[in-house]
Amino acid sequence: MRSLFTLLLITLLWTSIRAQEAYLSLNVDDSQPTISKHIYGHFSEHLGRCVYDGFWVDENMDVQKKDRIRLDVVEALKKINIPNLRWPGGCFADEYHWRDGIGQRAERPNMVNTHWGMGVEDNSFGTHEFLELCDLLGTEPYIAANVGSGTVKEMNDWIEYVNYNGESTLAKLRAENGHPEPYNVAFWGIGNESWGCGGNMTVEYFADVYKRYATYAKSYPGAPIKRIASGANSADYHWTEVMMKEARRHMWGISVHYYTIPTGDWGAKGSATSFTEAEYFNTMKNCLFMDELLDKHIAIMDRYDPEKKVALAVDEWGIWTDAEPGTNSSFLYQQNSLRDALIAATQLNSFNNRADRIRMANLAQTVNVLQALILTDKEKMLLTPTYHVFDLYQVHQDAQLIPFSISTPDFVNGDKKLPAVNVSASLDQDGKVHITLVNIDPNKSITIKSAVNGIDWKKVSGKVLTSGKVTDINKFDQPEIVKPTVFNGAKKTKDGLSVELPARSVVMLELE
């Protein structure tokens, strides 16, 4: 009887140990798509303290600046190679009139930012300032044109002003304002959330509006443009269906916006820093819904465009919590925890794995707003856990996707469960393989046994981002609580690769 009990105990223990094993098979294959670097794009809106008091600061602030652009922020972003920056919104884009933001700053009109707190916007940061910022960052601009309260002519003029290389009145005005050379901006968004803050249109109506605008969004000689249609709100598949049916020939891409709301309730989204394990589980469930959402939008696109000419641009994504207590709730300032890093890493894996269709994505928003990479407090600046994910993942930019199959244990909470491990992998131009692994289970480490087929490799090295708790954050007086360190938990075995993936971690491995 006693020995039967011992056997049962050993079997149970063994099962639970084995249950924490994942199996991963990677298959390097030349036919795979490139992971566009533009999946690693960002978004900066005239909202709260993103542009003003984020990138663009008071001339008396005691930090290094070019004009009023804060250079410590620029330097930090340059290190992670941000490929594009979307501007000026968001909802703000559909009330922005570009002529207000050019010429002598003292003469620029003051406007009210009606979407984001009714504050006065002095237009000191306009087209030239944005394009100067992009130049300093070494990043491609992505300009969202005003459809909601603008006109076709206004958009058409803006593109000519920015891109025309000739003797037109608008090109001369650009030269008078300090930039004789055309800027050659390729990415132009036509509308933003045209189903909501961008005009509350039905898609049947918007499809025609879009085509009218797209017709006059001109490519000038030497400056071909990529038109991106305002796309669906989250799981509004009908929007994608109608736009693909009616307007696909007029677009480089179509967008979709999806935010992870911890509670799933826009009225009470949940705290950025204080949450239970059950709340954490729910947040990760909402984050993983992105996979279903993308697959359904992509399936619709595939029906109309089997050759995958039209890109899906996830040009707003990220976790959206309640604003930090004590801050202006319209400014959407939120802290950023290890949970946010796990979300960013998971979503970037999802985008990479759909690189044949997803060719752009933009995290909302770069500095001081929503899931920010950088937070500032007067002269101080800190890098968030999310920043470090973009640092680890930059190896995937423009690398070739590696397909895989995986079996993973679950992250269990009560009677609910989610896949604990997610992954993406790529082969870079130097022949190095990079694997990014996420373990969303907050308590259990997981052993991964992996076969890497189709390539010879000799050594593995890596970095890990983790911390004691999923609620851990970086603070202005302790800015390095969550930061990447060297990872020694991976080794080459006779069967392939073995990895001890810590609980609540993001790991980036390099095989060469």
Residues lying near ligand AHR in the complex (CB under 6 A): 45, 89-91, 192-193, 316, 364-365, 370
d(CA 428, CA 398) in angstroms, rounded, equals 8
Minimum CB distance to ligand AHR smaller for 143 or for 448 = 143
Q: What is the DSSP string of 429-480?
A: TTS-EEEEEEE--SS--EEEEEEEES-----EEEEEE--S-TT-B-BTTBTT
Residue with tokens 């696109």: 301
What is the smallest separation between the CB atom of 42 and ligand AHR, expressed in angstroms?
A: 12
Classify residue 106 as exposed, middle or buried by CB count within 10 Å of its CB (0-12, 13-18, 19+).
exposed
Check: CB of residue 465 under 8 Å from CB of residue 483. yes
Phi/psi class of residue 370: alpha, beta or left (left: φ > 0; alpha: ψ in -120 to 50)? left
* Cα 508–Cα 509–Cα 510 angle in degrees, nearest 5: 130
140 is an active site residue: no
Minimum CB distance to ligand AHR smaller for 365 or for 408 = 365
Minimum CB distance to ligand AHR smaller for 51 or for 370 = 370
Three-state secondary structure call for residue 301: helix
What is the smallest separation between the CB atom of 482 and ligand AHR, expressed in angstroms?
A: 23
Sign of CA dihedral 321, 324, 327, 332: negative
What is the smallest separation between the CB atom of 202 and ligand AHR, expressed in angstroms?
A: 18
Query: Measured at CB, which residue is nearest to ligand AHR?
Result: 90
Q: Which listed residue (95, 129, 160, 316) is catalytic?
A: 316
204 is an active site residue: no
Minimum CB distance to ligand AHR smaller for 365 or for 394 = 365
Three-state secondary structure call for residue 154: helix
Minimum CB distance to ligand AHR smaller for 77 or for 370 = 370
- SS3 per-residue string spanning 224-266: CCEEEEEEEECCCHHHHHHHHHHHHHHCCEEEEEEEECCCCCC
d(CA 380, CA 427) in angstroms, rounded, equals 38
Three-state secondary structure call for residue 345: helix
Question: According to DSSP H, which parts of 305-421 are helical?
Answer: 338-352, 385-393
What is the smallest separation between the CB atom of 88 and ligand AHR, expressed in angstroms?
A: 10
Minimum CB distance to ligand AHR smaller for 239 or for 281 = 239
Minimum CB distance to ligand AHR smaller for 89 or for 409 = 89
Q: Which of 232, 225, 190, 231 is nearest to 209 (CA)?
A: 190
Please state whether the peptide bond connecting residue 88 to the residue before it is cis, i.e. omega within 30 degrees of 0: yes
Three-state secondary structure call for residue 214: helix
d(CA 429, CA 445) in angstroms, rounded, equals 32
For residue 417 the two structure tokens come to 């469960």
Sign of CA dihedral 427, 428, 434, 440: negative
Phi and psi at residue 223, to the nearest 5°: -135, 65
Minimum CB distance to ligand AHR smaller for 46 or for 108 = 46
For residue 63 the two structure tokens come to 């930090």
What is the smallest separation between the CB atom of 310 and ligand AHR, expressed in angstroms?
A: 21
What is the smallest separation between the CB atom of 90 and ligand AHR, expressed in angstroms?
A: 3
What is the smallest separation between the CB atom of 265 and ligand AHR, expressed in angstroms?
A: 16
What is the smallest separation between the CB atom of 144 and ligand AHR, expressed in angstroms?
A: 9
Check: CB of residue 445 under 8 Å from CB of residue 502. yes
Minimum CB distance to ligand AHR smaller for 230 or for 394 = 230
What is the smallest separation between the CB atom of 43 and ligand AHR, expressed in angstroms?
A: 7
Check: CB of residue 450 under 8 Å from CB of residue 23. yes
Q: Which listed residue (193, 292, 324, 512) is catalytic?
A: 193
Check: CB of residue 21 under 8 Å from CB of residue 409. yes
Minimum CB distance to ligand AHR smaller for 344 or for 355 = 344
d(CA 287, CA 59) in angstroms, rounded, equals 40
What is the smallest separation between the CB atom of 209 and ligand AHR, expressed in angstroms?
A: 17
For the annotated catalytic residues, the residue numbers are 193, 316
